[in-house]
A and B are shown apart, each in its own frame.
Chain A
């Protein structure tokens, strides 16, 4: 396809790569022996995973009494971690769906790993949903299944049921979108395979892909429609998560600003997590020509924009708490900023509102070390945001005699560690056994936007549309 690309645009793929170089560079990781760095990384994350799995097993076995919850603070790290992971899980679909609809070509080299990250983050979120039920083996009671209780159904008017549907739909649709994106690339590995095992497994999952023009035409329609339905889906998921809080009558939760504010926060933290992982991946797998400074800069710009939206939301909440004249609401917010949890509040303000503003400087947003550090700062801040919303709104309820503080036990911490173990173990497995960059899509945007693309190929001919 002949792209019309402005000459002032930065090159999307650097290093004068040809199509064959792309296939070679990306398949290299899958075909070669695991590197020493990978073995270390995978080993450490597996140990973390096993320790976390022990803590989670203990929680399931003993019940959630092993957590630090009390009568006043009935939701703490469990729901904080759940919302945090679901938020992180928003970036992948946003990059692959929303940026596809907006025809942002820079997304092509990062969408695969971002989508993988999304799926793993949603799985981590699901582990907290199961754990916080207390009796996870009865999780199917949240589904409208015929049952032995005289056909007692779930309440479809409840945001908690909406959440079950939103998260499970999001997980399955993201998985489907990601897998269909993988099929042509799995076929590339199949056709290069030198071992029987690789030929079999990649052949099995590439579904007999041939690359015919008819298949590609249908494939593009399919991707477009999936992107079209995933865009409202991704926005609906965090909207519904926010309604878990917003439809309640707890001061500090009962606010109409929650849906857009949560969605902006989700994109903010998700992009930060993608940034963290990309900065590691591009160095470990030597993908500097595919994930360029331009990509890092674009990501940082999105982080600044969404971070500013989140900052405005914080201020609006405060203003409305005062302007509404509701004293309980005003107290909830004054207590957040100046009460016993003031440190969590100011941690959140510093990390989420002030730190991303540093990216207004080009020197900072194109500096890899600073970007890496700030991407972690943002996610620390976003964890504290959820902690502040959940715990500080609960810990001082209407009755001063029941005011309490929350302190986590080793199982609160252990279950959180479990989610990190799960996330990184899955991510490293993905990075070794699947192509981390969408080769077919990268090849389709190379012409005209790849530096030093052989001159002969740059000559555009008149083509029939």
Chain B
């Protein structure tokens, strides 16, 4: 978030109040940029208007990739590159390959998922975000309203709406 953006921040101190406030503020025609909280609140992302995440689809794809890689490696080495007779069994001994293919699937899913998560949320080592309020990671719930995206509503009306919805503080940043 660039420092040139103007934000009006409503600070709340209770998770149910902020969840309630989101719909109250929205009903007055004010667009909410985002809400920042110290812990996850169920339903808050949908109330703010974010779309449902597609991370589970990504995770599934990575799982399929992991399974494919594991099975390709095993069948290449055990069937094509250097086939060996082990216990008189077929070269293509699929049941014996279940453990390693399973571990490969899990490994790819986990790392793929976490890397996708970090990229989609812009999380990386050394990232120094322009934090709106230092108490967000402690005990405060902050609703951020971008003034530039709310041309139709005056700044004073936004402040009043935040106060009315139960904000304990209204700050400008």
Chain A interface category by residue count: 35 or more
Tell me the bound Cα distance from A217 to B40 in angstroms: 7
The residues of A that contact B74 with a CB separation of less than 8 Å are 156
- Among B42, B113, B124, B138, point to the contact of A225 (Cβ < 8 A): B113
Q: Are A211 and B38 in contact (CB under 8 A)?
A: yes
Q: Are A157 and B89 in contact (CB under 8 A)?
A: yes
Q: Are B41 and A209 in contact (CB under 8 A)?
A: no
Chain B CB within 10 Å, residue with most, of A18, A187, A229: A229
The answer to the question of A447 belonging to the interface, with a C-beta cut-off of 8 Å to chain B, is: yes
Tell me the bound Cα distance from A16 to B50 in angstroms: 34
The answer to the question of A172 belonging to the interface, with a C-beta cut-off of 8 Å to chain B, is: yes
In the complex, per-residue mask of A161-196: 1 if CB is within 8 Å of any chain B CB, else 0: 110011001001100110010011001101110000
The answer to the question of A23 belonging to the interface, with a C-beta cut-off of 8 Å to chain B, is: yes
Tell me the bound Cα distance from A144 to B75 in angstroms: 12
Q: Are A214 and B96 in contact (CB under 8 A)?
A: no
The residues of A that contact B37 with a CB separation of less than 8 Å are 211, 213, 216
The chain B residue sitting closest to A209, CB to CB, is B123
Q: Are B113 and A204 in contact (CB under 8 A)?
A: no
The answer to the question of A207 belonging to the interface, with a C-beta cut-off of 8 Å to chain B, is: yes
In the complex, per-residue mask of B76-104: 1 if CB is within 8 Å of any chain A CB, else 0: 01100110101101000100110110111
The residues of A that contact B19 with a CB separation of less than 8 Å are 1, 463-464
The residues of A that contact B35 with a CB separation of less than 8 Å are 212-213
Question: Shortest beta-carbon distance, B34 to chain A, in Å?
Answer: 5
A23-B138, A207-B127 known; A151+B81 contact, CB < 8 A: yes
The residues of B that contact A53 with a CB separation of less than 8 Å are none
Q: Are B38 and A443 in contact (CB under 8 A)?
A: yes
Give the number of residues in B that approach A within 8 Å (Cβ atoms). 72
Tell me the bound Cα distance from A441 to B97 in angstroms: 38
In the complex, per-residue mask of A247-263: 1 if CB is within 8 Å of any chain B CB, else 0: 00000000000000000
The answer to the question of B167 belonging to the interface, with a C-beta cut-off of 8 Å to chain A, is: no
Q: For chain B, what secondary structure do more than half of its interface residues adopt (helix, strand, loop), or is it mixed?
A: helix
In the complex, per-residue mask of B20-60: 1 if CB is within 8 Å of any chain A CB, else 0: 10010000000000111111111111111010010110010
Q: Are B77 and A217 in contact (CB under 8 A)?
A: no
The residues of B that contact A460 with a CB separation of less than 8 Å are 16
The answer to the question of B4 belonging to the interface, with a C-beta cut-off of 8 Å to chain A, is: no
Chain A CB within 10 Å, residue with most, of B63, B96, B136, B138: B138
The chain A residue sitting closest to B93, CB to CB, is A157
Q: Are B137 and A463 in contact (CB under 8 A)?
A: no
Tell me the bound Cα distance from A173 to B110 in angstroms: 6
The residues of A that contact B107 with a CB separation of less than 8 Å are 169, 172-173
Q: Are A218 and B53 in contact (CB under 8 A)?
A: yes
The answer to the question of A215 belonging to the interface, with a C-beta cut-off of 8 Å to chain B, is: yes
Tell me the bound Cα distance from A210 to B135 in angstroms: 11
Question: Shortest beta-carbon distance, B10 to chain A, in Å?
Answer: 14
Tell me the bound Cα distance from A444 to B15 in angstroms: 9
Question: Shortest beta-carbon distance, A343 to chain B, in Å?
Answer: 36
In the complex, per-residue mask of A320-353: 1 if CB is within 8 Å of any chain B CB, else 0: 0000000000000000000000000000000000
Q: Are A205 and B138 in contact (CB under 8 A)?
A: no
A155-B86, A213-B48, A465-B43 known; A207+B124 contact, CB < 8 A: yes
Question: Shortest beta-carbon distance, B2 to chain A, in Å?
Answer: 14
In the complex, per-residue mask of A6-21: 1 if CB is within 8 Å of any chain B CB, else 0: 0000000000001110
Question: Shortest beta-carbon distance, B60 to chain A, in Å?
Answer: 9
Q: Can you report 7 A-B residue pairs in the complex whose CB atoms are below 8 A from each other? A: A1-B19, A23-B38, A157-B86, A176-B111, A204-B126, A222-B113, A229-B110
Chain B interface residues (CB < 8 Å from chain A)? 14-17, 19-20, 23, 34-48, 50, 53, 55-56, 59, 63, 73-74, 77-78, 81-82, 84, 86-87, 89, 93, 96-97, 99-100, 102-104, 106-107, 109-111, 113-114, 117-118, 120-129, 131, 134-139
Other 10 A-B pairs with CB < 8 A, given A208-B128, A447-B16: A156-B77, A157-B78, A173-B106, A180-B117, A191-B136, A212-B34, A225-B56, A230-B110, A236-B102, A464-B43
Chain A interface residues (CB < 8 Å from chain B)? 1-2, 18-20, 23, 144, 150-157, 159, 161-162, 165-166, 169, 172-173, 176-177, 180, 183-184, 187-188, 190-192, 203-205, 207-222, 225-226, 229-230, 232-233, 236, 240, 243, 439-441, 443-444, 447, 456-457, 460-465
